[in-house]
Amino acid sequence: MKAALSGKQPAAGTRSLCPNSPFRVLWENRALIRRLAARELRARYRGSMLGIGWAVIAPLGMVLMYTFVFGSIFKARWTGIGGSTESMTAFFLAGLVAHQLLSEGVARAPSLVLENKNYVTRVVFPIEILALVTIAVALVSAAIGLVLLLCLMALTSGIPPATAVLSPLVLLGMVPMLLGLIWIISAIGVFVRDLGQLVPVVLSVLFFLAPVIYPRSTVPAPIDTLVLFNPVTVPIESMRALVFGHPFPWELASSYLVISLIVCCTGFALFSRLRRAFADVL
């Protein structure tokens, strides 16, 4: 961070693409990341009457809509979560919290560098950290949704199981995957502007190909593999296991973490390589 603020280029060795490079860059700039994330949070809710209250109203409104449609109109009932409206609401919210974290982070990726081109063309700035700033802001919304979920369960079904206190780790476990995806999409988005139109469509498809509004156990065998490769499926399964007290999918979670680290390092390597041409394009 000191190098960025002083206008000096970091030494070549600090830009190596070894596996720990992305985490070293983010750690060295942690203070700057905190300031930028706090500024973006203030800007997001500035001028609105309810302020950060919208972070509670928006997911709650969506969950109530799904509960009404599937619980009252389609009268869907699934094993393992109980048949009450409150249980279905908690079931939907547990899936929505994880998916919203993915959606909010990746949706901004195509224009992330384009919206901050001054950092690229005029100032020596560690633009890699913009990905984590975006994720940090999304994590605040996800944390609010998680608190809402646990409060809802406590009010309607009693105290959640002790494993529920570990549920924030699921959100943190998504960070490497999100970092890699945002680095990849934001780097390519500088050169391929059509990504800004394509990514929302892909996110909509991923929503319905993830067990957000249905349990994975109801997915037919040929499609289950496709659903499993959705980057948010394992976090949703892990989140529900912890908050409902079901057996935790250790094997899936371990594989997901390994793949996430690979995606993270690959995204950082691609971003670092392509960023040399950002100024020419912008």
Q: Provide, rounded to the nearest whole percent, the portion of the chain with pLDDT above 70.
A: 85
Q: Could you tell me the end-to-end alpha-carbon distance of the chain, in angstroms, rounded to an integer?
A: 23
Question: Alpha-carbon distance 7 to 126, whole Å?
Answer: 11
Report how many helices (DSSP H) and strands (DSSP E) the chain contains, helices first. 15, 0
pTM for this structure? 0.85
The more confidently predicted of residues 122 and 169 is 169
Report residue 163: phi and psi, to 5°. Answer: -65, -15
Give how far the C-alpha of residue 98 lies from the chain's centroid of Cα atoms, to the nearest Å. 7
Asked whether residue 6 carries a pLDDT value surpassing 70, the answer given is: no
Asked whether residue 231 carries a pLDDT value surpassing 60, the answer given is: yes
Asked whether residue 182 carries a pLDDT value surpassing 90, the answer given is: yes
Question: Alpha-carbon distance 167 to 175, whole Å?
Answer: 14
Question: Alpha-carbon distance 3 to 10, whole Å?
Answer: 6
Question: Alpha-carbon distance 232 to 180, whole Å?
Answer: 14
pLDDT tens for each residue of 138-177: 999 899 889 888 888 888 778 889 999 999 999 999 999 9
Question: Alpha-carbon distance 222 to 219, whole Å?
Answer: 8
Core vs surface per residue 136-156: b (16+ CB within 10 A) or e: bbbbbbbebbbebbbebbeee
Reported confidence tier of residue 35, pLDDT bands at 50, 70, 90:
very high
Give how far the C-alpha of residue 188 lies from the chain's centroid of Cα atoms, to the nearest Å. 19
pLDDT of amino acid 5: 41
- In this structure, what token pair is assigned to residue 224? 């289950």
Question: Alpha-carbon distance 120 to 113, whole Å?
Answer: 8
pLDDT tens for each residue of 201-212: 999 999 999 998
Q: Contact 214/94 with Cβ under 8 angstroms?
A: no
Q: Name the CA dihedral angle for 129, 134, 136, 139, rounded to a multiple of 10 degrees.
A: -150
